Chains A and B, each alone.
Chain A
Amino acid sequence: MWDYSEKVQEYFFNPKNAGVLAEANAVGEVGAISCGDALKLMMKVDPVTNVILEAKFQTFGCGSAIASSSALTELVIGKTIEEALKLTNQDIADFLGGLPPEKMHCSVMGYEALQAAVANFRGETWTDDHEEGALICKCFGVDEGMVERAVRMNNLTTIEQVTAYTKAGGGCLTCFDALEGVLAKVNAEMVAEGVLDPAKAYKLGSVDPLALKKKPTPKAAAPAPVVSLGEIAPVRTSHPAPAGVSPLDPATPTPALTNLQKIRLIEQAIEELRPNLRADNGDCELVDVDGSTVYVRLSGACVGCQMASVTVSGIQQRLAAKIGSPIRVVPVGKN
C-alpha cells in the first residue's frame, strides 16, 4: 500500500466538507482518466465580494484523491476567487504533508476542479486549456509544449532523456504512448529541418517499454476463421443470468454514460487536433463512433498527402491516450 502521510490519512478517513452543496453557484466537474478518478467541487461564492463562503466536494477515487479534494475545500474557504486562483497543485500536496509521486495527479485534479468551478461561476465554460496542448504527464503536470521545447532545445532522442529533463513519465508512465508520440514527432520535424541526424531520431516503438516499467497491451490474437465450438464438455457457453444482478452487471448492456462520455472525449480530442491540422492546410472531422472504431473525414491537404497515414496514426494515438483504451481510427471518403 502507499506510504501516505498522517495528514492524508486524516483527510481520507474523516474528510472535511464532503457531500453536496445545494446552494452552490460555482461547480467544477473534472476527472483524471489515467487513474479513473473524478471530482465534483461545489462552492458558494459571495457575488459581491467574490469570497468563497462554503465549499464541498464529491470524489470517486483512491485515498489520496479523496484527501486532496477535501484539502482543496479547506484551502479555498474564506479566500476570494482571485486569491484561490493563485493556488497550485503543489499547495494541495503541501497542505497534506506531501503525496507519493505517483499520486501527484490527484492534486492536479483538485487544481483543475478549482479552475473549472471558477469558470462556471463566471459563466464561462472550462476546458483543459493548457496553453500549449494538453497535459501529457499527470503525475508531474507536464504539458505537450514543455516536452516539445525540452526535446528541441536539448536535442533529446530517448524517453529516458525526456524524463530526466521534464520529469514526464517518471511516475506511473501511463503517458508512455503520448510521450513517445511527441518525441517521435518533434524528432521527425528536426530531421526534416536538417538539425538532427536521422539515425539518431527516435523511432516509434523502438523502446522496450518493459524496461521502462510499462506493460504493453497484449495484442489480440490474429483474426482467424471461425471454428465450431467442438465438444469440450465441461464448458458451458452461456450462463443463466445470475439472480439479483445489478444494472451494471457485465452481462447486460452497460448504460449510455460511458459511451456518451467516450464520444465526448473523442470530439474534444479531435477539436484539440484541428488547429494543428489547419495550420498545415488540412482538416479532420468526426463522422461516427462504433465501439472502439472511430470514423473520421480528412480534408484539405491531409487527403492523399503522404502524411495521411501518419496523421491517422497520430489521431489514433491521441484518442487512445484520451480514452485510455485502444482505438482504431478509420478515414472515410468524401461522402
Chain B
Amino acid sequence: MRPVYLDNNATTRVDPQVVEAMLPFFTEQFGNPSSIHSFGSSVGGAVKAARKQVQALLGAEFDHEIIFTSGGTESNNMAILSALEAMPGRDVIITTKVEHPAVLSVCEYLEKTGRAKVHYIGVDSFGRLDLEAYRAALSDRVALVTLMWANNETGTIFPVEPLAELAKEVGALFHTDAVQAVGKVPITLKGSAIDMLSLSGHKLHAPKGIGALYVKRGVRFKPQMRGGHQERGRRAGTENAPGIVALGKAAELAMAAMADEQTRVKALRDRLEAGIMQRVPNCFVNGDKYDRLPNTCNVAFEFVEGEAILLHLTRAGIAASSGSACTSGSLEPSHVLRAMNIPFTAAHGSIRFSFSRESIDEDVDRVIEVLPGILEKLRTLSPFWAGANEAPKEFKPVYA
C-alpha cells in the first residue's frame, strides 16, 4: 500500500524534476561559480538563473535582493542579528509567542544576553495576532519587527503586509519568517513594506539545507557570515550550487503549482477536515479557519493524547504530526497551542495533517477510514471520556 504522507509542513519530498536539475552540478558542472574559467562560469550562470526563479516566486523587484543561505533557520538568524546591528540606538524587537524556535530562541538569547528587549505579542484562541498589543508595542525604539507569515502548526496566516506598514510608521525594519507560506500562497514583495523574508527549500520540494533570505534593495544589512565576496559580501562561503539550482527549479515548479495548491490541495484538506468532524465526536479545528494555509489541518481531539494517536496512525501507514510535545523530545505541550489557550487535554490531543501537491484523494480516504476507530479505541481507555458529545467525565486525579 502507498504510504500516506501528510506531514509536508515538516518537510517535503524533493520533486524528481528538481533532482534532475541539480544532479549535473555534482558531476560535469562541478566548478566554483566564482572561477573565471569555463568550469566556473557555466555554474555561475546557473546560480544567476536560479536567483531569478526565486525572485519570480517572491515577486521581488531585483534578483540581487535574494541571498542564498542554508535554510530557514539561518535566514531568520541572519535577519534578526543584522537588523539589531544595522539600527544603532534602537534595541527593541517585536515578535510573537507563536513563532518557530528559529526566531524565538534567537530573540530569547538576545534578551538573555542583554542585547535587546523583546515584546512577545500574544494571539487569541484562533491564533490571530493581538493587534492592540502589537500597536502598543511599536515605538521609535523598535529596531525590528519579526512576525511569521504563516504558522507551521496551525497554518494561521498573519496579515503581514499591513503589519509591515505599521512597523514602517515607526521606522522599524520588518522581517517575516515565510518558510511555511512561500509556494503555498501568492506573494508579491515589490511595493510591499516588507524588508526581509526567510524561506526554506525543503518545505517546497527542494532539498534540505538550502534556503534564502530576501533583503529589499536599500535596506541596511550587516553580514553575519564573513569571508569571501559571495552573495555580494552578504553571506560569505562558496555557493551551494546544486542546492541553489534545486531551489530555483523548485521555485519555478511552485509557481506553476500555485493554482493547484489553492484549489485541489485545499479541497483535499477541506474534505479531510469535514470527514473528521463528521465521524469523530468531540474534536475541533485549531487555528483561523478563514485565514489559513490551504494545505494545513490541525485538529484537537479531546480526552486523548496526541502521541498515542500518532503511534496508531504510524502503524496504519499514515504520517502526520502532533501538537503534543510528548513526541518530540520535550514534554511541554506545543507553545503555539498554549499561546492560543487551547484547553489542556485538547492541546495534548492535537494532530496536524499537512498536504502538498503530491497528495491525492486516496490519502484523505485512508485517514478518514482509520481515524474514527483509533479515537474510539483510545477514548475507551481515557478516564475523561464520558461518551460522544458529552462534557468530560468528573475525573479529578491527585496531581503529584
Binding site for B on A (CB under 8 A): 1-2, 9, 12-13, 15, 18-19, 29-40, 58-63, 65-66, 102, 109, 112, 116, 126-128, 134-135, 172, 174, 208, 210, 213, 215-216, 218-222, 224-227, 229-230, 232-236, 239, 242, 244-251, 254-255, 257-258, 260-261, 264-265, 268, 322
Tell me the bound Cα distance from A63 to B326 in angstroms. 9
CB interface residues, B 96-110, toward A, < 8 Å = 97, 101, 104-105, 107-109
Closest 10 CB pairs of A and B: A250-B125, A224-B136, A31-B397, A128-B400, A62-B307, A218-B120, A58-B383, A221-B119, A172-B331, A40-B383
Contact A116 B398 (CB under 8 A): yes
Option from B126, B310, B332, B383 in Cβ contact (under 8 Å) with A174? B332
B380 contacts A by Cβ under 8 Å: yes
Q: How large is the interface on B (under 10, 10 to 19, 20 to 34, 35 or more residues)?
A: 35 or more
Q: Provided the pairs A60-B305, A61-B308 are in contact, do residues A29 and B162 lie with their beta carbons within 8 angstroms?
A: no
Determine how close the nearest CB of chain A comes to the CB of B165; give it in whole angstroms: 9
Tell me the bound Cα distance from A65 to B283 in angstroms. 22
Determine how close the nearest CB of chain B comes to the CB of A329; give it in whole angstroms: 19
For B158, give the chain A residue with the smallest CB separation: A235
Tell me the bound Cα distance from A13 to B343 in angstroms. 26
Q: Is the interface of A mostly helix, strand, loop or mixed?
A: loop
Contact A230 B135 (CB under 8 A): yes
Contact A1 B133 (CB under 8 A): no
Contact B399 A322 (CB under 8 A): yes
Option from B105, B285, B394, B400 in Cβ contact (under 8 Å) with A32? B400
Other than the known A30-B400, A32-B400, A260-B396, what 20 A-B pairs have Cβ atoms closer than 8 Å?
A: A2-B307, A13-B315, A36-B344, A38-B384, A58-B382, A60-B305, A62-B305, A63-B311, A116-B398, A126-B398, A127-B398, A128-B400, A218-B120, A222-B137, A232-B163, A235-B131, A235-B162, A246-B389, A248-B346, A251-B125
> Which residues in B have their C-beta under 8 angstroms from that of A257?
392, 394-396
For B281, give the chain A residue with the smallest CB separation: A246
Binding site for A on B (CB under 8 A): 97, 101, 104-105, 107-109, 112, 118-122, 125-126, 128-129, 131-133, 135-137, 159, 162-163, 166, 277, 281-285, 288-291, 300, 302-308, 310-312, 314-315, 324, 326-327, 329-333, 335, 340-346, 348, 380-384, 389, 391-392, 394-400
Determine how close the nearest CB of chain A comes to the CB of B308; give it in whole angstroms: 6
Contact B137 A224 (CB under 8 A): yes
Contact A227 B132 (CB under 8 A): yes
Tell me the bound Cα distance from A216 to B332 in angstroms. 12
A-B contact pairs, 15 of them (CB 8 A): A29-B383, A32-B400, A36-B348, A60-B382, A61-B305, A61-B308, A112-B400, A215-B330, A216-B112, A221-B119, A224-B137, A250-B284, A251-B125, A257-B394, A261-B396
Q: Provided the pairs A36-B344, A38-B395, A229-B132 are in contact, do residues A172 and B330 lie with their beta carbons within 8 angstroms?
A: yes
Determine how close the nearest CB of chain A comes to the CB of B324; give it in whole angstroms: 7
